[in-house]
Structure 1
Amino acid sequence: MKTLGAARAVPAHIARAEARKLIAEAALVGLPTKPKQKYVPRFDEYVHEFWRDYAQHWKPTTQKACQGYIARELVPVFGKMQIDQIERVDINRWRDALSKRTGVFNRTIPLMSVMMRYAEQLGHRPKGTNPCRGVSRYKRDLPERYLSPIEYKRLGRVLADSELPNPDVVPAILMLLYTGARASEIETLRWRYIQIPRLVLPDSKTGPKTIYLNRQAVDVLNALEQGKPDDFVFQATRSGDPINLSQYWHKIRKRAALPDVRLHDLRHSFASTAIADGIPLAIIGKLLGHALPESTARYAHLADDVICESAERVCSGLASQMGISHDQL
C-alpha cells in the first residue's frame, strides 16, 4: 500500500493527482518500454573519433596519406551521412564515380573498410554490416619491368665507369641490385642497422625487417668508410642527410639505354633472377621482406615460365635419347 501523507497535510486535489499518477505507473508495470535511441554520429563527426583512437597506431607516412584520403575522397561523399546509414549501394555508387581514378579508389577502399569495421566495434553500426566487404577493386595493369642479362651488363658497365659528384651513389645502387631492398631502405640505412651478415631495420614499409646480405653486398659495405652508429651509410653530398638516389638514377639509366627502368624495377629484377635460379616463391618473399604471401604471388607467372621451360628441356632430352624428332610425329 502506498501512502501519500496525512490527510491534514496533503490537500485533496493534490492527493487525487498523485493517486492517478501512481495508478498509471502501476498499469505500465511489466509492459515493454521503448528504449532510448542511441545517438549515431555522422561520418564527418565519426572521423574525429576514429582518428583519435586508430591513427596513433600508424606510421607518420601512413597517417599523412590516410588523412589526405579522408579529407579529399571520403568526407565529401559520405560526410553528412549517419554511420549506420551507409550501405553497399553507396559504396558502389562511389566506386562508379571513380572509374577514371581507379588507383585512388583502390587505395582508399581499404581505409573506408577499416573505418566501417571500427564503427561496428564501437556500436555505431550493427555487427557484420561492413558495406565495403566484397566490393571489388579495379583491376590495373601494374608496370613490371625486369632486366635481361644483356641489360644487366649495360647497367654494370655504366656503374663501373660512372663519374658522379657523390661517391655514395654507385655503392647504394649496387646494394639495391644485390639485396632486392626498397630504395628507401637503402637510402635511410644507418651504420647501427648493419649486423653482418644481415641488415636489421627497426622500421620499413612492412614494419621491422631483416635483409640478408650475400657476399657481394658485404663487399660493398666493407669498402665504405665507416661512420658513427647513427650516421646514414649513404649520404647526400656535403651533408649528413640521407642520399636521394632518384636525382641520379635518371642520368644513369639513360647512359645504360634503359630509359623505362625505375629504381623499384631493380627489386622486381632481383625477384625475377631468383626465380630463374629455381628459388621457391616462399623464400623469395622472405628475401624481399613481404609481409603477405599475396605480395610475392605477383611473380608466380615468372615461376610458371621457368617450370615450362624446364619441362621443355627435359622432354627434348628424352625425345633425343629415344631418337624421336618432332618432324616424325
Structure 2
Amino acid sequence: TLKQARERAKALLASVLDGQDPAQNRRLESEENTFSELCDSYLERHAKVHKRTWQDDERRINKRLRPRWGTQRVTAIYQTDVSLLHHEIGKQYPYEANRTVELLKSIYAKAMAWGYLPRLHDNPTAGITLFKEEKRDRWLTGDEMPRVAEAIAAEANVYVQAAIWLYLFTGVRKSELLNAQWADVDLDRGELRLPDTKSGRTHYVSLSLPAIELLSRVPRIAGNPYVLPGHKAAQHLVNIDKPWQRIRNRAACDDVRLHDLRRTVGSWLAQSGNSLHLIGRILNHQQSSTTEVYARFGQNHLREALDRHGQQILDTAGKSDFNDLLPQISRSK
C-alpha cells in the first residue's frame, strides 16, 4: 500500500542518515530468513517442545500466516500489515483475530531472542489494539439435556458417544480425554490419571458411578492403548468437533461449543450447592479466579441457607409473627 511504501522509504532514509550502506543492507537482506522459515523454527524449537496446544499454533500459522507472508523476509512485515490482517479476520472471528496476533507476537519475540532480527527491531504486533472479549456464559440447561442425549444416541460411532458422555460426567478438557489411555484408568478405585494437563502437573480425576459404568462398557481394541481409539491403528480419536457439531445441530443447541460441556459440569455443580473450592479441584483450575465465574449459580443455595438462618433467629427469639418484629408499626395500623 501507499502507506507501507512511505514507511519503508522513511526507514531507508533514516538508515542513510545513520551512516548505513543501503547496498550492504540489501546484501544482508538477501541472506535473511523468510517468514516461513521463522515459523518452522518457532514450531520445532518452541511450540512443539513447550506447548501442549502447539497444534493450534500450527493450524493458525498454516491457515492465517504462511499464505500471507510465507515468502517475505522476516523484517519486511510491519505493524500496518499485522493491523490489516487483524482487522480482516476480526470482521467475522474477533477472538480468532486476537489469538492470531498473540501468536505472531510470540513468534517475533522468539525471533529476537534467536537472532533472526536486529537487536532493536520493533515487534510488528506492538500497538495493535485487540478486540474486546467477553467470557462465555453458555452451558447445557436441564431442558436441553434430553435433546442432547437423543442426539448422542443417533451417532454411529460408539467412541464418539462415549466421548461426549465422559465430557459431561467428568468436565475434563478435550485433549485430556482424547489422550487418555487404559493404563491410566483404574475402575476399582474410580480414578482416571491425566499425566499431561494444562496446569503442567498430573491430575487425578474422580470417576462417578455413571462414568465407571460407561467406561466398563467401552469396547477395547487390541494393540490400541487409547480409551477412545480412532480409525488409524494405535491412534486415538481425532476431530471430535465435527461429530459434536452434528450432535448440537440435531439437539437444536447450535451455539453450544464442545468446551461448553466443561462449563456445564461446573455450572451444574454450583447449582447443586457445591463450593467453588470443590469445583475448582474437580475442573483442575490453577487460579481461583477461573472458578469464580460459577459463583452466581450458588445464589439459590445461599438464599436457602439464609432462609434457614433467618427462621432460626425468629424461632429462638420466639417471634412467630412477622408483625412482632416492628411492633410500633403494627400498633399504629
Same fold (TM over 0.5): yes
Q: Tell me, which stretches of 5 or more residues in structure 2 are unaligned?
A: 1-18, 49-53, 324-328
Residue 208 (structure 1) shift: 7.3
How many Å separate the matches in 1 of 2:42 and 2:283?
28
In the TM superposition, what whole-angstrom CA distance separates every residue of 1:42-75 from its partner, at most 9, and x where no partner exists?
Answer: 9983525533543114346245314323213555
The normalised TM-score by structure 2 is 0.61
Are residues 1:138 and 2:131 paired? yes
Q: Tell me, which stretches of 5 or more residues in structure 1 are unaligned?
A: 1-33
Aligned position for 1:232 = 226
Contact 1:159 1:170 in 2 (8 A): no
Aligned position for 1:50 = 38
Contact 2:276 2:294 in 1 (8 A): no
Q: Note the aligned Cα RMSD (angstroms).
A: 4.7
The match for 2:113 among 118, 121, 144 is 121
Q: Name the SS for the 1:212 alignment partner.
A: strand
The normalised TM-score by structure 1 is 0.62
Residue 106 (structure 1) shift: 0.9
Contact 1:180 1:267 in 2 (8 A): yes
Task: Indicate how the Cα distance of structure 1 residues 279 and 103 shifts in structure 2: closer, same or farther if over 3 A, else same.
Answer: same
Aligned position for 1:271 = 266
Task: Indicate how the Cα distance of structure 1 residues 219 and 100 shifts in structure 2: closer, same or farther if over 3 A, else same.
Answer: same
Contact 1:211 1:287 in 2 (8 A): no
Q: Name the SS for the 2:144 alignment partner.
A: helix
Contact 1:201 1:210 in 2 (8 A): yes
The match for 1:149 among 139, 142, 148 is 142
Aligned position for 2:104 = 112
How many Å separate the matches in 2 of 1:42 and 1:311?
68
1:168-317, aligned counterparts within 5 Å?
Answer: 168-195=159-186, 197-201=190-194, 210=203, 212-216=205-209, 217-228=211-222, 230-235=224-229, 242-243=236-237, 249=244, 253=248, 258=253, 260-279=255-274, 281=276, 284-289=279-284, 293=287, 297=290, 300-303=292-295, 305-317=296-308
Residue 189 (structure 1) shift: 3.7
Contact 1:275 1:302 in 2 (8 A): yes
Q: Which amino acid aligns with 1:173?
A: I
Aligned position for 1:67 = 61
In the TM superposition, what whole-angstrom CA distance separates every residue of 1:63-92 from its partner, at most 9, and x where no partner exists?
Answer: 53143232135558xx46736x946x6655
Q: Which amino acid aligns with 1:222?
A: S
Q: Which amino acid aligns with 2:43?
A: A
Q: Give 1 or 2 for the bigger CA radius of gyration.
A: 1
Q: Which amino acid aligns with 1:106?
A: N
Aligned position for 1:7 = none
Q: Which amino acid aligns with 1:210?
A: H
How many Å separate the matches in 2 of 1:41 and 1:113?
22
How many Å separate the matches in 1 of 2:75 and 2:121?
17
Residue 113 (structure 1) shift: 1.0
Q: Percent identity?
A: 22
Q: Name the SS for the 2:172 alignment partner.
A: coil
1:11-22, aligned counterparts within 5 Å?
Answer: none
Task: Indicate how the Cα distance of structure 1 residues 224 and 180 shifts in structure 2: closer, same or farther if over 3 A, else same.
Answer: same
